[in-house]
């Protein structure tokens, strides 16, 4: 061995031997051994770092893969761990709140919140110039299933799904919260339309637990409201049939809806609304099952035309991180203009937190499945280079492309059933794709309603905004009754 090679080998050995190290163990999980991924979250400010918004907030994260680890046995995070933004030894020195999570991947979305995962209450560690220092963390907490407390007007629905059970190879149901109007109790012979509300990314129907609140009307029409989250192990299922998440669309239409209509007094009129990822979801459901639903109000939807996927044309652009001028692309802004979070950072962080987050969720819905069972990525998470093979599979979920391609078949059952609204200062630049879809639907004389408001992704929800959306849904309900 020559001198140069020996020097490089000794340098590598010394860097690993004396790298910063954090040993992690678990003590309270029910399994006899653990195989899977372990994650480490650090923050100087957030006292519960595992709850940070990956990619929107920037903080150090690390991951390792382990096999057959017994309770009490230590595993080591060092410079060999997958890391963002830098290896553990290169981390800026100072005090950090630190949490570890052992991910059993039993069905929850966010790794940091998935029932069955072991974690530790945050400890504060001080990293000095001494990178030989070794720290020890014991995960003695277990994330539990969220309870749901029913009231007179609020009920839980858990519709067993054979379709999803067959896909996941474990019992799976489609779950949600059912809100009954006050008329449901005072008019026992009356039947009601059902408004399905799909939550945005990360929303959970358990947030309604214990609230004794009657369902709100659609404008002036009393209705049964069903709030559905869309959380699944890979992120937001979007109620789309997909290679990675399974047949969520069919599970809703063929299993959940029949269960609702069997259990509650409905008149078979079904309407849809949702915001953000929920906005994309309801538009997808309406266009994929046009005869099942009487109308749809989509609010600030995720990209509805992939020629403008948050300012990226996935069909012609070559990189998600940088535009043609070499400027970093934004994934989030303030008021649609001022930089907040970049595509490069969100993809880089999600390369460590490898499931359940926003960009990974898009891949899980839109992409094909790789040989190792993970979603094929739209882009290389290190360079941002767009994969043209993946793009071809994504095209199947491009709502604008689907409508343009299949309008003749869809027109009889879809004409005038859709309303899309968005704020012109949308934080996630979603208004640009809505404008593209609007232009295409005008060419087809589709009769869809597109409305644009001042405000961003969060402030757009004014009383006037909500009233206009509900008036549209009520008009579609009246159309349904007139056609019966």
Q: Which residues contact 32 (CB under 8 A, 6 or more apart)?
A: 70, 71
Q: Where do we find the tokens 């996935």?
A: 314
Domain with CATH 3.40.50.1820 in the chain: 154-306+396-483
Q: Which residues contact 244 (CB under 8 A, 6 or more apart)?
A: 234, 363, 364, 365, 367, 369, 374, 375
Q: Are 329 and 321 contacting, i.e. CB atoms less than 8 angstroms apart?
A: yes
Would you tell me how many other CB atoms lie within 10 Å of the CB of residue 266? 17
Q: Are 278 and 227 contacting, i.e. CB atoms less than 8 angstroms apart?
A: no
pLDDT band at 7, cuts 50/70/90?
very low
C-alpha–C-alpha distance, residues 163 and 168, integer Å? 9
Whether residue 388 is predicted with pLDDT greater than 90 in this model: the reply is: yes
Q: Which residue has the higher pLDDT, 5 or 408?
A: 408
Find the DSSP H helices in 289-398: 343-350, 358-366, 388-394
pLDDT band at 352, cuts 50/70/90?
very high
* Predicted local confidence at residue 2, as pLDDT: 52
Chain segment 184-235, per-residue pLDDT in tens? 999 999 999 999 999 999 999 999 999 988 889 999 999 999 999 899 999 9
The average confidence (pLDDT) of the chain is: 94
* Predicted local confidence at residue 484, as pLDDT: 77
pLDDT band at 59, cuts 50/70/90?
very high
Pick the CATH number of 21-142 from 3.30.70, 2.40.50, 2.60.40, 3.30.420: 2.60.40
Q: Are 484 and 477 contacting, i.e. CB atoms less than 8 angstroms apart?
A: no
C-alpha–C-alpha distance, residues 172 and 245, integer Å? 12
3-state secondary structure of 175: strand
* Predicted local confidence at residue 28, as pLDDT: 80
Name the CATH superfamily for 154-306+396-483: Alpha/Beta hydrolase fold, catalytic domain (3.40.50.1820)
Q: Are 399 and 283 contacting, i.e. CB atoms less than 8 angstroms apart?
A: yes
What pTM was estimated for this model as a whole? 0.94
Domain with CATH 2.60.40 in the chain: 21-142
């Amino acid at each position: 061995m020559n001198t140069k090679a020996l020097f490089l080998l000794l340098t590598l050995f010394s860097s690993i031997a004396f790298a910063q190290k954090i040993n992690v163990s678990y003590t309270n999980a029910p399994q006899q051994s653990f195989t899977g991924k372990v994650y480490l979250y650090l923050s100087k400010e957030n006292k519960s770092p595992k709850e940070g918004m990956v990619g929107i907030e920037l903080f150090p994260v690390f991951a390792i893969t382990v096999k057959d680890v017994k309770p009490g046995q230590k595993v080591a995070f060092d410079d060999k761990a997958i890391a963002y933004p830098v290896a553990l030894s290169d981390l800026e020195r100072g005090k950090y709140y630190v949490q570890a999570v052992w991910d059993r991947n039993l069905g929850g979305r966010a790794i940091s919140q998935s029932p069955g995962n072991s974690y530790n209450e945050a400890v504060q560690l001080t990293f000095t110039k001494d990178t030989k220092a070794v720290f020890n963390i014991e995960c003695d907490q277990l994330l539990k299933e969220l309870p749901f407390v029913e009231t007179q007007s609020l009920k839980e629905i858990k519709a067993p799904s054979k379709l999803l059970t067959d896909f996941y190879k474990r019992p799976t149901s489609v779950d949600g919260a059912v809100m009954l109007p006050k008329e449901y109790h005072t008019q026992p012979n009356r039947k009601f339309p059902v408004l399905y509300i799909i939550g945005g990314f990360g929303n959970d129907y358990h947030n309604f637990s214990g609230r004794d609140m009657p369902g709100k009307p659609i404008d002036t029409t009393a209705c049964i409201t069903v709030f559905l989250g869309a959380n699944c192990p890979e992120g937001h299922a979007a109620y789309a049939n997909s290679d990675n998440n399974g047949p969520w669309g069919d599970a809703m239409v063929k299993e959940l809806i029949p269960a609702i209509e069997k259990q509650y007094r409905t008149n078979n009129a079904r309407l849809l609304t949702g915001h953000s990822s929920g906005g994309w979801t309801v538009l997808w459901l309406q266009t994929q099952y046009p005869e099942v639903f009487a109308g749809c109000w989509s609010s600030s939807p995720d990209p509805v035309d992939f020629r403008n996927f948050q300012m990226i044309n996935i069909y012609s652009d070559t990189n998600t991180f940088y535009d043609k001028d070499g400027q970093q692309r934004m994934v989030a802004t303030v008021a649609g203009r001022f930089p907040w979070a970049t595509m490069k950072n969100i993809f880089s962080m999600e390369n460590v937190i490898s499931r359940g987050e926003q960009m990974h969720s898009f891949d899980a819905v839109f992409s094909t499945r790789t040989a190792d069972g993970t979603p094929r990525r739209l882009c290389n998470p290190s360079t941002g280079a767009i994969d043209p093979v993946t793009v071809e599979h994504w095209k199947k979920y491009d709502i604008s492309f689907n409508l343009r391609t299949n309008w003749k078949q869809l027109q009889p059952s879809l004409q005038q059933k859709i309303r899309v609204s968005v704020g012109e200062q949308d934080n996630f630049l979603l208004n640009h794709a809505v404008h593209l879809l609007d232009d295409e639907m005008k060419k087809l004389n589709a009769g869809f309603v597109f409305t644009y408001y001042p405000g961003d992704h969060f402030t757009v929800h004014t009383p006037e905004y909500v009233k206009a959306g509900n008036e549209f849904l009520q008009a579609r309900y009246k159309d349904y009754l007139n056609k019966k």
